[in-house]
Amino acid sequence: MDVISHGLWPWFIFNRKKNWRWWAAGWGMFPDLGTLPQIYYLLKFFGIKNLFSIENWDTLFIPEGWMFTYFLTHSLITPWVIAGLYWLVKKRLPWPLLVGWSLHILLDMFTHAGVYANRPLFPFSDFSINGVMWSNPWIFWSNWLLLVVAFGWLAWRRWQKLNISRQTRKT
Ligand SMILES: [Zn+2]
């Protein structure tokens, strides 16, 4: 999925938790920082001047070593190891991190292909699903349609609440 959606879904899940929702959004987007080394590689060594000129990211050739951070941040193992360490110290789980990050991978697992196919069990297994890229118009727009419905519903509920409190103030 696109990085904005990765922030919006966790925010939606935690929308009632004022202290958590922005953390959840941040951790939801965080794994895509793992793409920075490949962007550096493409610009510096692959001779690509403009990233927007790349049409098919899935068919690019990127050496394994440059993919390491991507596989690491797109593995379900990583957030659970971090959450486990956090639990050892604080005796509670960092839910915004765990949910935001895991959801990112669950969505990406099926919406990436080729070199960018996620390896959810990395580094223990190279297992991956050759899915349909999130940039596919059907996937991209149905995801955004769902987001509009979800956030529209939140806005409607909020508006209703405001109306109710206004009415009770009048009487
Ligand atoms: Zn991602």
The first and second tokens of residue 93, run together, are 């789980």
CA 160–ligand 1 middle distance (angstroms): 35
- pLDDT of 105 > 70? The answer is yes
CA 164–ligand 1 middle distance (angstroms): 41
Neighbours of 78 (CB within 10 A): 20
Q: Measured between alpha carbons, how far is 41 from 50 in angstroms, rounded to an integer? A: 13
Q: Measured between alpha carbons, how far is 70 from 127 in angstroms, rounded to an integer? A: 15
Q: Measured between alpha carbons, how far is 128 from 116 in angstroms, rounded to an integer? A: 10
**So what's the pLDDT on residue 34?**
96
Distances (CA, A) of 14 to 7, 27, 100, 147, 170: 11, 12, 9, 14, 32
- What residues pack around ion ligand 1 (CB closer than 5 A)? 32, 108
Percent of the chain with pLDDT over 70: 99
pTM: 0.89
Residue type, 85: L
**Which tens digit of pLDDT belongs to each residue from 37-91?**
999 998 888 888 888 888 777 778 888 899 999 999 999 999 999 999 999 999 9
CB of 84 within 8 A of CB of 44? no
